[in-house]
Structure 1
């Protein structure tokens, strides 16, 4: 079992934009790590306090992940933190080693983990 991290920054707090970006993030995380829905144990989403228009977990349901336990939480409101950001922590059953896991940071969220920028399958 492994954990996969990811994040995406959205341009504005709009329900459609948050859902679209979260769907993209989940799709990229799964593709980059060759995960299928049956591999998923659970997914934890966090959103920065400036994202209030909807639940990021709804995007997972819209992708058909209806039997995967999901939870949303608010990210810490740290001064200087990256605004308008959805983060994800996916727990999955996979034969990949920890070193082989590809964490996915999209758009402005790439600034959160520049050390991983060379390994990002979904860097945009």
Structure 2
């Protein structure tokens, strides 16, 4: 089974630990949903081909990687 890496980013509107945790949770949920992954995949061992995975850049973070952001 191959190990795959998935990229992502999310913007922070303020420097606050609670806000960071919320935004990272949102990003992680989006990555899992968009790539059809489960918590068990998070190491990340997957039978999916590399081309089937998407990198998730949410909100204003999409401007960071317009070439790969979905």
Larger CA Rg, structure 1 vs 2: 1
Short-chain TM bin: 0.7 to 0.9
How far apart are the structure 2 equivalents of 1:110 and 1:39?
24
What TM-score do the two structures reach when normalised by structure 1? 0.52
Aligned length: 68
How far apart are the structure 1 equivalents of 2:45 and 2:36?
11
Query: What is the Cα deviation at residue 98 of structure 1?
Result: 1.2
What TM-score do the two structures reach when normalised by structure 2? 0.87
How far apart are the structure 2 equivalents of 1:2 and 1:93?
6
Greater relative CO (CA pairs within 8 A, separation 6+): 2
Question: What 5-or-longer segments of structure 1 have no aligned partner?
Answer: 42-91
For 1:47, the equivalent position in structure 2 comes to: none
Does residue 50 of structure 2 align to residue 111 of structure 1? no
Deviating beyond 6 angstroms after TM superposition, the runs of 4 or more aligned structure 1 residues are: none
1:2-41 superposed matches below 5 A: 2-41=4-43
Question: Which has a greater percent of helix?
Answer: 2
Question: What 5-or-longer segments of structure 2 have no aligned partner?
Answer: none
